[in-house]
Amino acid sequence: MNYLEKLKSSSEKYKSIICMGLDPVMDYFPEEIKDSPEIAIPNFFETIFKKMIERKIYPSAFKPNQGFFLQYDKPMEFNFSGSIALATTIVLCRDYFPGIPIILDYKKGDIAKSSKNYAIEGFENWDCESVTISPFMGSDSVIPFLEYTNDGNGIYILNRTSNKGAKDFQNLKFDNDEFLYQSVSKKIVEWSKEYSGTGAVVGATSLTELENIAKIYAEHNIPLLIPGVGSQGGSAKEVIAILKKVGYDLGIVRINSSSGISFPWKKDGKIPKDWADTCVNELEKLNKEIETNE
């Protein structure tokens, strides 16, 4: 099964195109589960996972952000609590939700030999179906990741991201009136012709750019990972409307929400007693937003 088939299969099985970002911040954890990171982080997510299964409400991808886990490592003290928490969380995702792709968000990209090592880390050592990467250093840094798509894996290349500073470089305009993000899109299309499973990260906070890019990708079956929904202000409903308008296959898109699902109490700081239910409620809302637009 290639990566596109994995995406379609999981969206059909779990009735969702939402990607749940796993970005642990222990400051927002309920007091009753606070412990060392290797215990508290998996316990936090497992409690939510059990509630999802109980209520039959699911995402169709998980995206652990490596940096959020590794912040809890203290390598010079030989303490790898964050890495253990990441490994345990990935195993929990596999055990509770068979067939749901796991996207390791680590945004790597280096010269060819180094990229090969990072690709081994993501696909083999962390055993994820997909990873996020940066295209900044060009083809020789991207191809070591692309080669893993031949084994049914996927990659998501940063294209037009959802952060405020994205415009600093991604919206630079060339003499031919083409923006940098458009040049990256063309290169992604080029790579996808040889490597199925080549995808792109395009944020929900830049809807004009999203529409321009999705028009191109709809013709080439390029999977989209769309962050920025929820706490960053993007709207799942608006995203779906744009994708439908340009004829994009919704089965291969994943709309990501991270803290919007995991920490809906983040703004007011008041953690409800039924906190796991509250998290699943947010996932349910996103799934329903998409249903009403289908």
Residue 220 CB neighbours (<10 A): 12
Supply 85's token pair: 């928490």
Instruction: Please tell me the distance from the alpha carbon of residue 119 to that of residue 110, in angstroms, as a whole number.
Output: 10
In single-letter form, the type of residue at position 128 comes to C
Query: For 234, how many CA atoms within 13 A lie in the half-sphere containing its CB?
Result: 29
Q: Which of 88, 67, 55 is nearest to 21 (CA)?
A: 67
Cα three-residue angle 18-23-26, rounded to 5 degrees: 140
Instruction: Please tell me the distance from the alpha carbon of residue 48 to that of residue 20, in angstroms, as a whole number.
Output: 11
Say whether 187 is catalytic. no
Kind of pairing, strands 198-202 and 154-160? parallel
Supply 56's token pair: 């039959």
CA dihedral 154, 25, 38, 54 (to 10 degrees): -70
Contact 130, 97 (CB under 8 A): no
* Residues 6 or more apart in contact with residue 23 via CB below 8 angstroms: 64, 65, 68, 258, 259, 262
Mind giving me the DSSP string for 173-198?
B-TTS-BHHHHHHHHHHHHHHHSTTE
Given the residues 6, 51, 107, 285, select the one marked as catalytic: 107
Residue 60 CB neighbours (<10 A): 28
Residues labelled catalytic: 107
